[in-house]
């Protein structure tokens, strides 16, 4: 009995107490951490695409400094798709409405970045690094929000409407 007290006393004196978690608690903590990391990446991607798409929508085509001339309608359409994709990364999860659209928006932004990589001039291949990196991040968000850590559909706004249909 005395040795047990010494070992418990030594554990508290010389180290941190051992905390044992169940597998369910570990899975919950992992999902929370994954969700926070995904939200961070989503917000960063939204900032990138809002700024890039906004510039393509607002500035004249000559002021964009593109390596070669593209049709004005195509540049404006790409800018609009980038802005809508950025909103699609954030708003469904924030409002908890149609949360499955987040993964679709990230997939669309991945396609845009694939196109941006294809439009990189062959003599300036180092410029393809940024669209490849951003596209890979968007693809990771698309997969993670689809399979790994999907957003929940419950919200305070949707609760009264669901209670109405259940009664």
- Residue 3, pLDDT above cutoff 70: no
Instruction: Give the tens place of pLDDT for each residue, 72-118.
Output: 999 999 999 999 999 999 999 999 999 999 999 999 999 999 999 99
What pLDDT does 117 receive?
A: 94
For residue 47, the surrounding DSSP H or E stretch is helix 23-58
Tokens of 161: 């409407």
pLDDT at 1 over 50: no
Looking at the chain, list the stretches that DSSP marks H as alpha helix, in order from N- to C-terminal side.
Answer: 2-14, 23-58, 72-95, 101-118, 129-143, 159-166
Percent share of the chain, pLDDT over 90: 54
In whole angstroms, how far apart are CA 15 and each of 11, 19, 160? 5, 12, 50
The token duo for 82 is 């980038």
What confidence category does residue 16 fall into, taking pLDDT thresholds of 50, 70 and 90? low
Higher pLDDT, 69 or 140: 140
């Amino acid at each position: 009995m005395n040795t047990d007290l010494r070992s418990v006393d030594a554990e508290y004196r010389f180290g941190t107490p051992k905390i044992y978690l169940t597998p369910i608690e570990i899975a919950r903590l992992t999902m929370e951490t994954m969700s926070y990391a995904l939200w961070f990446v989503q917000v960063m991607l939204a900032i990138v695409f809002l700024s890039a798409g906004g510039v393509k929508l607002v500035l004249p085509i000559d002021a964009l400094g593109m390596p070669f001339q593209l049709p004005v309608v195509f540049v404006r359409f790409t800018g609009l798709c980038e802005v809508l994709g950025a909103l699609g990364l954030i708003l469904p999860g924030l409002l908890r409405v149609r949360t499955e659209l987040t993964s679709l928006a990230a997939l669309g932004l991945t396609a845009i970045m694939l196109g941006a990589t294809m439009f990189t001039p062959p003599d300036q291949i180092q410029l393809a690094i940024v669209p490849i990196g951003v596209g890979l991040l968007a693809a990771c968000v698309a997969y993670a929000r689809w399979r790994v850590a999907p957003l929940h559909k419950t919200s305070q706004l949707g609760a009264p409407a669901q209670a109405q249909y259940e009664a």
